[in-house]
Amino acid sequence: MAAAASTQTPLIDKLLTTVIQLKASDLHLTVGQPPVLRHHGRMKRLETKTLDSDDTTALMKAITPDRCQQELQEKGGCDFAISFGDTRFRCAVFKQKGMIGLVLRRIPSQFLTFEQIGMPEAIPRLITRPRGLLLVTGPTGSGKTTSLASMINFINQNYDRHIITMEDPIEYYHTHNKCTVNQREIGVDVPSFPEAIRRALRMDPDIMLVGEMRDLDTIHAAIESAETGHVVFGTLHTSGAASTINRIIDVFPQEQQDQVRTQLSTALIGVLSQTLLPKIGEGLVAAYEMMVVTPAIQNLIRENKVYRIDSSIQTGRKHGMFLLDENLFRLWKEGIVEKEEVLLRSSKPAELAAKITAYEQGLYEEDEDAEDEEGDEDEDEDEEEEDDEDEEDRRPKRPPPKKRE
């Protein structure tokens, strides 16, 4: 009887129940292997039948709305979200080798607090500003959606605001608490992100969440919205503050880039970059890089000196800034993650490896870093003063006032 059962197509309900019970993050369904779960960052095959084309097609039809099935036929893929009991899943359906594949991501049903996800201390200050653009960046699966949901939930619990989210698809459902929260799904409630932003500006918003800043029109609309007195949260698939700024600028034609640098320098208030690592034992932990836009960083953006931003982050600890590699080093030093994992996600693995080796040999002293940072900060301040002096020198000199007789 058991052998016969193993040859039957797995029911989607049973698979989703397994995901929830095991607290897996993703379910992969593709032809030629059994269903696969991503559990604590590792891929694990379920002990059930190997899926064939009929199986994945049946599983797809069991959960995919008609409009998305049409999009799958026309474009080869579609994205949507479903509810299963109290749990929501983000679903990506696609074609590969002419056959159907699916990946379903479990969206946690509970909002996580800033303390639970280790959110940088600068974030509560930034998200309660009256205006500005805050970007959350990182590769796919780095927890950007969870971070943004925690920010929206924090505001919803503590402040009276009108929040409009524009998502593709809607993942976390927010109820009206202190805030009024309207959530618009691209392709269902509104055709595109640029159109959603344009319409949102007429809806008396305080805060706007743009699920993906994926093209020029969306990026331009988000920057202009932040300039005109709104708080805008957005996401990009970039790693690090400097590469995020370069990515935004490079989207625009060459002749517009100087103007966009000026706009971005005034609109941007911060960049939170993040990645997820498997913890020693079980579970995942987020590592962050935090950049808070200061007058010095505004100048670097405006003057196209983005390559110096990492130095400004390094010396901006008093503003709540830190680099990804600093956070990775701390996670390793506290015994939360393995050395190999932090080096895989490091932006400068050779430097981080040397730092770890020095610490292991008892040669690393944090006080030295602090002294270096204070020195660098003084140098940065000196440079800013020199820049101000240069600007004064370039200004036309007024003649001295005539003495009254």
* Neighbour count for residue 346 (Cβ, 10 Å): 21
CA 190 – CA 282 distance, rounded (Å): 40
pTM given for the model:
0.82
Provide the pLDDT for residue 7: 53
Question: Which secondary-structure segment (H or E) carries 26?
Answer: strand 26-29
Provide the pLDDT for residue 1: 32
DSSP labels, 196-239: HHHHHTTS--SEEEES---SHHHHHHHHHHHHTT-EEEEEES-S
Provide the pLDDT for residue 9: 60
Provide the pLDDT for residue 363: 86
Provide the pLDDT for residue 109: 78
The arrangement of strands across the sheet holding 77-84 comes to 42-45, 36-39, 26-29, 99-107, 87-96, 77-84
The answer to whether 184 touches 154, Cβ cutoff 8 Å, is no
CA 50 to chain centre: 35
Torsion of CA 256, 258, 261, 267, to 10 degrees: -70
Provide the pLDDT for residue 42: 87
Q: Over the stretch 35-93, which tens digit does the pLDDT of each residue have?
A: 999 998 889 999 999 999 999 999 999 999 999 999 999 999 999 999 999 899 999 99
Q: Over the stretch 303-330, which tens digit does the pLDDT of each residue have?
A: 999 999 999 999 999 999 999 999 999 9
The answer to whether 138 touches 104, Cβ cutoff 8 Å, is no
What six digits make up the tokens of 122? 């600068």
Stretches in the chain below the pLDDT threshold 50: 1-6, 368, 370-379, 381-398, 403-405
- Residue among 123, 114, 79 nearest 212 (CA): 79
Provide the pLDDT for residue 399: 52
